[in-house]
A and B are shown apart, each in its own frame.
Chain A
C-alpha cells in the first residue's frame, strides 16, 4: 500500500503542484479500490443475511434433516423438505459437464492457438465468443426441442444397448433387492431424454465456450522463448504443446473453476431438460433436479411461509456450497501454482 505513494512522490518530486495532484490521485485510487472491496464484501454479507433471515424458519423446523433427506413435498400440511436430491443433481450434472467440457475446451483452445491457420482460427474464435453470449433460455429451448428427443431416440438408445448387459462391479441394490452393477446401472430405466445426462450435456455445451476462451487466452501467454527453447531441444509439436499446457495449468484450472461456477448456478437451460423430480439415482437416464433448478421452478409457487422459507434454505445451501467449492478450488490452485 505504501509502495505506490513512495514511488509517486519520488517520481514527481520536481514540482510541488504535480506532487499535490499525484497525492490526490493516489488517495483517490486507493480509496476507490478499497471501496470496491468493501462493497463487494458488503453485498455478499447482505445476501447472506437476507437468505439466512428468510431461511430461519425452515432451519428451525427442518434443521439438519434438510441435508439428509431427499423428499420434497410442499403440499400444505405435508411439508417435507429435503435438499439432498437437488444437491445430488447439481453435483452430478456439474461433474458430467466438467468431465466433458474441460478436455474438449483444452482441445479447442490448443486447436485455435497452436494448430489452426490464422484464416481459420479467427472465425472459430469469433464463433466461440458468440456462443458465450447466447442467453441460457435459448440453450434450454434448443435442448428441450432438439437435443432431448435426439438423445432419447439415438444416443441414449445406443448407449443403453451397449451398456445394459455389462456388469463389472456390483455397486448396490435396487429397491427390489436386485443387485446393481456398474456400468449397467448408468443406463438403468432406459432412454428418456430428460435426465441427468441431458442436464449434464446442456451444461457442457454452455460452459464450453467460456472455458475454451479463457484457456485460449492463457495459452497465448506461453512465451515464444520457451516455445523456441523446447523445439530447439528437439521436442515435437505435441511435447511442446504439453509444455505449454503445464506452463498454463494454473490459468486453465481457473478457467475450469469459472466453468464450474457457471454450471452450478445455471437454471433455465437445466430445468428444461433434466426432468424435474426429486430423485437420486445412479442412472444417467433418471430424471432429477438441481438446487438452482428447483429455485427457478418453484419460487413463484411457494405460497405458504414454510415453503418459501425452505426455498430460501435451498438458496442458502447453494450460496454456501458455491463459496466452499471456490475456496476448495483456491486451495487446490495454491497447490499446483509454482511457489
Chain B
C-alpha cells in the first residue's frame, strides 16, 4: 500500500504506455518499474496429497498491470492463482511451500489475517457466482462483512463499484431485483463489482470469460483494461487472443512449471522456449 501511494505518478506514466497493451505493445520493464512488484512468488511448490501440482515457480507480477496465465489444462494455473489469496487453505490435503509476497508482505507468514488478505485480493471465478440476493445486496455483502456500516455509505460504495464495473447504467433502476435475473455477462460484471467494492489492490480472475458469449467477453476485456489503471490484475485464460488483447505480461505454465514469462508481445511473437512457441502457435494444449 505504501509503495502504491508513493509511486502513483510513476505508475500512471508506466500505465500510459501499458494501455497500448490492447494491441500487444507492452511497456518495457525498466528499473523503475522493476521495484514495484505487486506479487512476488519464490520457490513455490504446491502439493495435493502426494501429487505435486506446482513445481518451483518463481514469478514477479507488476503493480497495476495485467498479467495473463496461460498453459494447457491441468498445468496449475488455478492452483497458483489460489495461492495468492490463500484459497488453497480451503482445499483438503493441499500443501503450499515457498513464499508469496504481496506488496512485500509474506502472506503465508504466521499471523497473517487471511480474511484481510482476501479482502485486499479480490477473486473472480470462471462461472459467475452472484449470491441469490438483490443486485445491491451482492455488492454490499463484502462491505458488510468487513464492517462497513451506514445505509448511505454502503449505497455510495455500491454505486461506485457498479460504475467501475460498467454495470451501473444497466441496473440502476432495478438495484433491488434479484441478481439472478441478470444475463451471464452482467452477472460476471456484478461479481467484479462485488470483488472491487472493498478496494482490493489485486484482482485475481480465473477464466472470467469462459462461460460468456463473445460480446460479453469483449465488455469484460475492456473492463479489465480500465480497472488495471488502479488495480493489479492476474487473469487465467485459455484464449490466446484474450491474453494478447488484455495482458501486459504473460506467464506460460506447463505441467506445474513456469516455462517462460515476459511481455505479452514477446511471449507470443518471440518466445525463448520452444514449448512456449509450440503452445502459442497452437501445436498442443
**B145: which of A223, A226, A233 is its contact (CB, 8 Å)?**
A233
Chain A 51-93 interface mask (CB, 8 Å, partner B; 1/0): 0000000000000000000000000000000000000000000
Q: Establish whether residues B131 and A231, one from each chain, have CB atoms under 8 Å apart when the complex forms.
A: no
- Determine how close the nearest CB of chain A comes to the CB of B101; give it in whole angstroms: 19
- Determine how close the nearest CB of chain A comes to the CB of B52; give it in whole angstroms: 23
Q: Establish whether residues B119 and A233, one from each chain, have CB atoms under 8 Å apart when the complex forms.
A: yes
Known contacts A229-B191, A231-B118, A232-B85; decide if A243 and B129 are in contact (CB<8 Å): no
Residues of chain B contacted by A235 (CB below 8 angstroms): 115, 145
Residues of chain B contacted by A233 (CB below 8 angstroms): 118-119, 122-123, 141-142, 145, 194-195, 198
Q: How many residues of chain A get a CB closer than 8 Å to chain B's CBs?
A: 17
- Determine how close the nearest CB of chain A comes to the CB of B139; give it in whole angstroms: 11
Chain B 109-140 interface mask (CB, 8 Å, partner A; 1/0): 00000111111001101010111100000000
Chain A 310-339 interface mask (CB, 8 Å, partner B; 1/0): 000000000000000000000000000011
Which chain B residue shows the least CB distance to A228?
A: B125
Residues of chain B contacted by A165 (CB below 8 angstroms): none
Q: Establish whether residues B127 and A225, one from each chain, have CB atoms under 8 Å apart when the complex forms.
A: yes
Per the bound structure, the CA–CA distance linking A130 and B9 in Å amounts to: 68
Decide yes or no whether B146 CB sits under 8 A from chain A: yes
- Determine how close the nearest CB of chain B comes to the CB of A310; give it in whole angstroms: 50
Residues of chain A contacted by B129 (CB below 8 angstroms): 223, 225-226, 228-229
Known contacts A228-B87, A229-B125, A234-B142; decide if A338 and B198 are in contact (CB<8 Å): no
Question: Which 10 pairs from chain A and chain B are nearest by CB?
Answer: A234-B119, A234-B118, A232-B123, A225-B129, A233-B142, A229-B129, A234-B115, A239-B145, A235-B145, A225-B127
Q: Establish whether residues B145 and A232, one from each chain, have CB atoms under 8 Å apart when the complex forms.
A: no
Taking A223-B129, A234-B145, A239-B145 as known contacts, 15 extra A-B pairs with beta carbons closer than 8 A to each other, sorted by chain A number, are A226-B129, A226-B132, A228-B129, A229-B130, A231-B87, A231-B118, A233-B118, A233-B119, A233-B122, A233-B141, A233-B195, A234-B115, A234-B116, A234-B117, A235-B115
B→A interface (CB under 8 Å): 85, 87, 90, 114-119, 122-123, 125, 127, 129-132, 141-142, 145-146, 178, 191, 194-195, 198
Per the bound structure, the CA–CA distance linking A234 and B129 in Å amounts to: 15
Per the bound structure, the CA–CA distance linking A231 and B145 in Å amounts to: 11
Q: Establish whether residues A243 and B131, one from each chain, have CB atoms under 8 Å apart when the complex forms.
A: yes
Q: Establish whether residues B131 and A226, one from each chain, have CB atoms under 8 Å apart when the complex forms.
A: yes
A→B interface (CB under 8 Å): 223, 225-226, 228-236, 239, 243, 247, 338-339
Q: Is the interface of A mostly helix, strand, loop or mixed?
A: helix
- Determine how close the nearest CB of chain B comes to the CB of A222; give it in whole angstroms: 11
Which chain B residue shows the least CB distance to A239?
A: B145
Q: Give 18 CB contacts A-B under 8 Å.
A: A225-B125, A226-B129, A228-B129, A229-B129, A229-B130, A229-B131, A230-B131, A232-B118, A232-B122, A232-B125, A233-B122, A233-B141, A233-B145, A234-B114, A234-B117, A235-B115, A236-B115, A243-B131
A-B contacts at CB below 8 angstroms, number: 59
Which chain A residue shows the least CB distance to B178?
A: A338
Residues of chain B contacted by A231 (CB below 8 angstroms): 87, 90, 118
- Determine how close the nearest CB of chain A comes to the CB of B92; give it in whole angstroms: 9
Per the bound structure, the CA–CA distance linking A156 and B233 in Å amounts to: 63
Residues of chain B contacted by A236 (CB below 8 angstroms): 115, 145
Per the bound structure, the CA–CA distance linking A228 and B91 in Å amounts to: 11
Residues of chain A contacted by B132 (CB below 8 angstroms): 226, 247, 338
- Determine how close the nearest CB of chain B comes to the CB of A229; give it in whole angstroms: 4
Per the bound structure, the CA–CA distance linking A153 and B186 in Å amounts to: 64
- Determine how close the nearest CB of chain A comes to the CB of B206; give it in whole angstroms: 10
Residues of chain A contacted by B115 (CB below 8 angstroms): 234-236
Per the bound structure, the CA–CA distance linking A231 and B125 in Å amounts to: 12
- Determine how close the nearest CB of chain B comes to the CB of A142; give it in whole angstroms: 39
- Determine how close the nearest CB of chain B comes to the CB of A253; give it in whole angstroms: 16
Per the bound structure, the CA–CA distance linking A233 and B198 in Å amounts to: 9
Per the bound structure, the CA–CA distance linking A236 and B117 in Å amounts to: 12
Which chain A residue shows the least CB distance to B130?
A: A229
Per the bound structure, the CA–CA distance linking A233 and B115 in Å amounts to: 8
Residues of chain B contacted by A247 (CB below 8 angstroms): 131-132
- Determine how close the nearest CB of chain A comes to the CB of B83; give it in whole angstroms: 13
Per the bound structure, the CA–CA distance linking A247 and B132 in Å amounts to: 7
Which chain A residue shows the least CB distance to B85?
A: A232
Per the bound structure, the CA–CA distance linking A339 and B134 in Å amounts to: 11
Per the bound structure, the CA–CA distance linking A232 and B131 in Å amounts to: 13
Residues of chain A contacted by B178 (CB below 8 angstroms): 338-339
Q: Which of B87, B145, B195 has the most CB atoms of chain A within a 10 A radius of its CB?
A: B145
Q: Establish whether residues B191 and A234, one from each chain, have CB atoms under 8 Å apart when the complex forms.
A: no
- Determine how close the nearest CB of chain A comes to the CB of B5; give it in whole angstroms: 22
- Determine how close the nearest CB of chain B comes to the CB of A338; give it in whole angstroms: 6
Per the bound structure, the CA–CA distance linking A312 and B123 in Å amounts to: 63
Which chain A residue shows the least CB distance to B138?
A: A229
Residues of chain B contacted by A232 (CB below 8 angstroms): 85, 87, 118, 122-123, 125, 195
Per the bound structure, the CA–CA distance linking A239 and B114 in Å amounts to: 14
